Amino acid sequence: MRYPTYRPRRMRKNEKLRGMVRETALSPDCLVYPVFVKEMSEREVPIDAMPGISQFSVDGVLGEVDKVLEAGVPAILVFGVPEKKDETGSGAYDKNGIVQQAVRAIKARFGEDILVITDVCMCEYTSHGHCGVVKDGYVDNDETLKLLAKSALTHVMAGADMVAPSDMMDGRVRAIREMLDLHGDYNVPVMSYAAKYASCLYGPFREAAESTPQFGDRRSYQMDPPNSREAMREIALDIEEGADIIMIKPALLYLDVLSQARERFNIPLAAYSVSGEYSMIRFAAAKGSFDLKRAVIESTTSIRRAGADIIITYFAKEIGTWAKERTL
């Protein structure tokens, strides 16, 4: 059909018509909200680079989880910021480490009401800020695997519902899966940061997690931004090793990778809308460049449209609130 017989604008005439034919739905059910828990005396410390986001003490994070649940968001992703760091990141696999304390407290208060996912990595815990054991200036892959597996186990022992390795070491999904299965934790899913790029957009996160590398960068283990075929290989390897969910990170600048993964793999797919994406939108809206709500909904919907089943976003509470108000 051609104009004037076919007029696509007919179905855009009003919100009810637009809603009836809308192809992509955005719901709080698919959202995960990241939280930063720190060993400190203060209950909450705002993060300058991420307006509206804070670090919380173990006690303080309970109030934040209350707000997450009130917004209808079903899951959180927990990052830990320890008081002390060392060369091997021992706080990551300490049974009384900050993440382990936080998980126990959250599950004791909220039980099954909240899905607790824990980030499994070493960068917040090492004195050098890298994601593993450093030998001769290089991150030792296989030595790091042992510590990641120990970390994941302590998270699950504390009550974590899911673990999410973000380190980008080769073979870490298999190492974690084998460790959990060995201890009878067959039913705990692994969400792998399967294609995590060496992006410039992590700067605000590194302030929040206090995880900036003290030398060099992470390009020897995080993915090179120009590569997408390599991402498909990384994803395939992680699925083969036992990942239950695979993740693309960052989200907005890698929608093409997300779309390719959706076309190629029949497995739940997550995308992490990272700190730099959050801060760009937040700061630009504060300057009057555009409307915050419309920008958040449009950008998050684009991630969903590209194929994400799960979206990790710092805007999760706001999106959940808008959904409750029926203004999404």
Mean pLDDT of 313-325: 97
pLDDT at 216: 83
Positions marked catalytic: 196, 249
pLDDT at 161: 98
CATH of segment(s) 25-324: 3.20.20.70
pLDDT at 59: 97
> What is the chain's Cα-based Rg?
20
| Closest among 237, 229, 242, 315 to 272, alpha carbons compared | 315
Distance CA 191, CA 173 (A): 9
Encode pLDDT of 138-178 as tens digits: 999 999 999 999 999 999 999 999 999 999 999 999 999 99
Encode pLDDT of 201-254 as tens digits: 999 998 898 888 888 888 999 999 999 999 999 999 999 999 999 999 999 999
21 pLDDT band, cuts 50/70/90, is very high
Distance CA 54, CA 47 (A): 5
Distance CA 301, CA 298 (A): 5
Kindly write down the DSSP assignment for every residue of 198-267, as one continuous string.
Answer: --GGGHHHHHHHT---SSS-STTTSBPTT-SHHHHHHHHHHHHHT-SEEEEESSGGGHHHHHHHHHH--S
For the chain, the structural domain boundaries read 25-324
Kindly state the helix (H) or strand (E) to which residue 283 belongs, with its residue range.
Answer: helix 275-286
Written as six digits, the tokens of 114 are 């909240």
Distance CA 114, CA 69 (A): 7
Mean pLDDT check: name the lowest of 39-43, 128-132, 192-196, 307-311.
128-132
Query: Is residue 53 scored above 90 in pLDDT?
Result: yes
